[in-house]
Amino acid sequence: MNAIVEAFAFFLGFLAWLMVGIALPNRYWRESTVDGNVITTSTIYENLWMSCATDSTGVHNCRDFPSLLALSGYIQASRALMIASIVFGTFGLVAALIGMQCSKIGGENYVLKGRVAAIGGFLFLMQGICTMIAVSWYAANITQEFFNELYAGTKYEIGEGLYIGWASATLAICGGSCLLCACKVKRSDDKITYPYQPTSRGHMISTVVTSQSAPSNYGRNAYV
């Protein structure tokens, strides 16, 4: 494992997780300006949880969406995907922290730590994919309503919360990819080769046999 790449991937994953936590409660997922005179001009902005309005005097009025079942399907799906993104990011951070080579958590079994780090990278990828789908789906509905000439409701534009979500998804995907690339899988054909060194046992046996079979110059009576 490459410790530098692991630390960089962990930093990207943590930054992406932090930005998801900022984007989810952000009120400016979509916004629209209602033009009028100085008194009636107001700004309407919404997110996944509430709708707010600000008049020309600077007074903010917000109301939560009354019913979950009355919401559009893409808003419900975006809620679920964003919450799943935070869950994936939380478990990804824990797995990456345990599996990092510079971390003392989990002992010194680097094979196991590499597998745990790879799981963390996969969770970061899932976080980025969930965030990207939720934000892109929400933005697609905004643009569809905006360019639809037959749409009679309020037309909104893309707010800053979506841009934060896109940045978070990009960082999470990059961090997960780097963490997976840092963990190298050892293949079965990657074996360590050793030079052949014949043992000297046969040579010793042959020496003993030679010494035993050599003719002696002394008779049996010469031994005391």
Tell me if residue 36 falls in helix, strand or coil: coil
| Residue-number span of the structural domain to which 14 is assigned | 3-182
Specify if 221 maps to a domain. Answer: no
Residue 70 pLDDT exceeds 60: yes
CATH classification of the domain holding 112: 1.20.140.150
Specify if 164 maps to a domain. Answer: yes
Specify if 188 maps to a domain. Answer: no
Specify if 211 maps to a domain. Answer: no
Per-residue model confidence as pLDDT tens digits over 78-93:
999 999 999 999 999 9
Residue 199 pLDDT exceeds 80: no
Specify if 105 maps to a domain. Answer: yes
What element of type H or E holds 212?
helix 201-213
Specify if 204 maps to a domain. Answer: no
Per-residue model confidence as pLDDT tens digits over 132-182:
999 999 999 999 988 888 877 778 889 899 999 999 999 999 989 888 887
How many domains, the chain? Answer: 1
Specify if 115 maps to a domain. Answer: yes
* More confident site: 54 or 56: 54
Specify if 85 maps to a domain. Answer: yes
120 exposed, middle or buried (CB, 10 Å; 0-12, 13-18, 19+)?
Answer: buried
Task: Tell me if 42 sits within 8 A of 32, measured CB to CB.
Answer: no
What element of type H or E holds 54?
strand 50-55
Length of the chain: 224
What residues does 55 pair with on adjacent strands? 42
Q: What is the pLDDT of residue 109?
A: 66
Proportion of the chain above pLDDT 70, given as a percent: 73
Residue 218 pLDDT exceeds 70: no
Per-residue model confidence as pLDDT tens digits over 106-125:
566 667 777 888 888 899 99
